[in-house]
Amino acid sequence: MNATALADLSADDLAALLEEQRAAYEQLKAQGLKLDLTRGKPSSEQLDLADDLLRLPTSTKDASGVDVRNYGGLEGLRELREMFAELLWVEPDQVVAGGNSSLSMMRDCLVWMMLFGAVDSERPWSTEEKVRFVCPVPGYDRHFTLLESLGIEMVTVPMHDDGPDADAVAALVADDPSIRGMWIVPTYANPTGAICSQDVAARLAAMPTAAPDFKIFWDNAYALHHLTEDEAKSADILTLASAAGHPDRPIMFASTSKISYAGAGVAFLAASTGNVGWYLGHLGNGSIGPDKVNHLRHAEFFGSPQGVRDHMAKHRAIIAPKFAEVDRVLTERLGGRGVATWNSPTGGYFVNLDVVPGTASRVVALAKEAGIALTPAGSSFPYKRDPDDTNIRLAPTMPPLAEVTQAMEAVATCVLLAAAEKASA
Ligand code: PMP
């Protein structure tokens, strides 16, 4: 491994490196690869772990004897809510178990806030002159497209290793009542892997906001998705907000999409009893009850909160080696070159790769031409605009390990080639 930083190379050595990478890239293209690192999906091996679900439930009745095949029980099956309340460190009465998608629950909340107002709003958000959200970046692309689709403007703040920049958030929300809420993925954030510290969470829970009905969309999609034995515990945002006098500020979301089945899991919302009542009130206008058969089979399958934790250890055994492989290849190929930085997440589904500013789009385009699909550059930013064109999100869970290796070797070549082109320009 030649580990000289590109910036320290002589003009001749840089020219040689550029030629070397061009040749490597041509070889890469000749391989006719077809690999995909775009979306954070579980692999089929992971999905197989939950296949007993296909033979469940064995009962048609819940613990209190109610027939789960019938209408009713809008808030979801009690025993499943109890199980996930323990896992999310909240009370069962604060939890709603819904359909298969927490993103849909987030969408419903936002749509109802726009149409009717939040539980503590004076009027519908859509009647305000402007509605804006604070978005830590890089962040989850679907959060941003959802806001965009509703005409909610986005204001960015940096995402640090301990969560969103709390000073920046506090400064934005203090005087501007058009800022009605913020996103946060508190545990193993998409895509940076950051874990929101207790301190940052406490500040967000307590900060004064000009909007009286400010909301924190606490998307804990990866709460239980540890990649190491050092299992992060999410900050207890509901208690923090309640203690600070803002019980209705946070709404927590989670799901079993990456625990059981991504397409047939169970999603959860957890919040103050006021928020839960508000949510169920609106939900009840369009639903007579959730899929309690799915709730029951999940409750039977896991058996207990510990059953869920044990199941997650099986996921970890499958995906941790893929993350290790991403790190190995990047370290071996790019270490010391001064062309990229990346994180080694301790949980979640992504590796965040920052390449030479101005080259992320080029890297993604080069990779595409060589048959490797990467998430489009800029995807982790509102309006798909990465101001520095530097960020690339890698999702290594879905392909088999050997393909992760191939794909990452290819990515490394593209990163080096784009960096050498830029340095030579
Ligand atoms: N939130 C985050 C941060 C995610 O990364 C994802 C999946 N990519 C989701 C929500 C989607 O969750 P669900 O499947 O429950 O809709």
Task: Report how far residue 134's alpha carbon sits from residue 98's, in angstroms, rounded to the nearest whole number.
Answer: 26
Distance of CA 255 from the midpoint of ligand 1 (Å): 8
Question: Distance between CA atoms of 180 and 125, rounded to whole angstroms?
Answer: 8
Ligand 1 closest atom vs CA 39: 8
pLDDT at 171 over 90: yes
Give the position, in ligand 1's atom list, of the atom nearest the Cα of 102: 15
Alpha carbon nearest to ligand 1 atom 2, residue: 221
Could you tell me the pTM of the whole model? 0.97
How many residues would you count in the chain?
Answer: 425
* Ligand 1 atom nearest residue 257's Cα: 14
Q: For 193-210, what is the mean pLDDT?
A: 98
In angstroms, the Cα distances linking 211 to 143, 177, 181, 261, 373 are: 21, 4, 9, 38, 41
Q: Is the pLDDT of residue 52 over 70?
A: yes
pLDDT in tens, 345-377: 999 999 999 999 999 999 999 999 999 999 999
Question: Span 74-102, mean pLDDT?
Answer: 98
Which residue of 88, 103, 397 sits with most ligand 1 atoms within 8 Å of its CB, as the best mutation to test the pocket? 103
Q: What is the mean pLDDT of residues 208-236?
A: 97
Share of the chain above pLDDT 70, in %: 100
Check: CB of residue 238 under 8 Å from CB of residue 250. yes
Domains of the chain: 6-46+309-424 (3.90.1150.10), 63-303 (3.40.640.10)
Mean pLDDT of 386-399: 97
pLDDT at residue 250 greater than cutoff 60: yes
Ligand 1 atom nearest to 140, measured from its CA: 3
Q: E strands of 44-131, at which residues?
A: 95-97
Closest CA to 201 of 190, 214, 187, 211: 187
Q: In angstroms, rounded to a whole number, what is the distance separating the alpha carbons of residues 335 and 328?
A: 10
How confident is the model over 264-286, as pLDDT tens digits?
A: 999 999 999 999 999 999 999 99
Which residue has its alpha carbon closest to ligand 1 atom 8? 40
Rounded to whole angstroms, the maximal C-alpha distance in the chain is: 79
102 Cα to the center of ligand 1, angstroms: 7
| pLDDT reported for residue 335 | 95
Please state, in angstroms and rounded to a whole number, the distance separating the CA atoms of residues 382 and 148.
8
Ligand 1 atom closest to residue 256's alpha carbon, by position in its atom list: 15
**ipTM of the complex as predicted:** 0.99
Name which residue sits closest to atom 1 of ligand 1, judged by CA. Answer: 221
Nearest to 110 by CA among 245, 212, 253: 253
Atom nearest to 104 CA in ligand 1: 16
Residue 232 zone, left/alpha/beta (φ > 0; ψ -120 to 50; rest) = beta
Find the 157 Cα to ligand 1 centroid distance in Å.
21
Q: 137-170, pLDDT tens digit by residue? A: 999 999 999 999 999 999 999 999 999 999 999 9
Q: How confident is the model at residue 3 (pLDDT cuts 50, 70, 90)?
A: confident
CA atoms of 289 and 275, how far apart (whole Å): 18
Average pLDDT, the chain: 97
Nearest-10 Cα torsion for 241, 102, 96, 222: -60
* DSSP-derived secondary structure for 302-352: H-SHHHHHHHHHHHHHHHHHHHHHHHHHHHHHHTTSSSEEE---SBSS-EE
Average pLDDT, integer, range 373-402: 96
pLDDT at 1 over 70: no
266, 272, 274, 275: CA torsion to nearest 10: -40
Distance, CA of 68 to CA of 76 (rounded, Å): 10
Q: Name the packing angle between helices 305-334 and 401-424 (round to 10°).
A: 40
The 10s digit of each residue's pLDDT in 272-323 is 999 999 999 999 999 999 999 999 999 999 999 999 999 999 999 999 999 9
Please tell me the distance between residue 221's alpha carbon and the centre of ligand 1 in angstroms: 6
Q: Which atom of ligand 1 is found nearest the CA of 103?
A: 16
Q: Which of 342, 363, 360, 359 is nearest to 351 (CA)?
A: 342
Asked whether 43 and 399 are in contact (CB, 8 A), the reply is yes
Ligand 1: which residues within 6 Å by Cβ?
Answer: 40, 101-103, 140, 185, 190, 219, 221, 255, 257, 267
Report the b/e string of 295-327 with b at 16+ CB within 10 A: bbbbbbbbeebeebeebbeebbebbeebbebbb
Taking the alpha carbons at both ends of the chain, their separation in whole angstroms is 24
CA of 267 to the centre of ligand 1 (A): 10
Q: What share of the chain is helix, strand, coil (3-state, %, to 5)?
A: 45, 15, 40
> Whose CA is closest to 187, among 243, 140, 133?
140
Query: For residue 129, how far is its CA from the centre of ligand 1 (angstroms)?
Result: 30
Q: Rounded mean pLDDT of 199-212?
A: 98
Mutate to test the pocket of ligand 1, among 143, 190, 225, 234 (most ligand atoms within 8 A of CB): 190
Which residues, in sequence order, are CB contacts of 347 under 8 Å at separation 6+? 187, 188, 193, 195, 222, 225, 226, 227, 228, 231, 232
pLDDT of residue 425: 87
pLDDT grade for 209, boundaries at 50, 70 and 90: very high
Q: By the 8 A CB rule, do 139 and 163 touch?
A: no
pLDDT band at 2 (very low <50, low <70, confident <90, very high): low
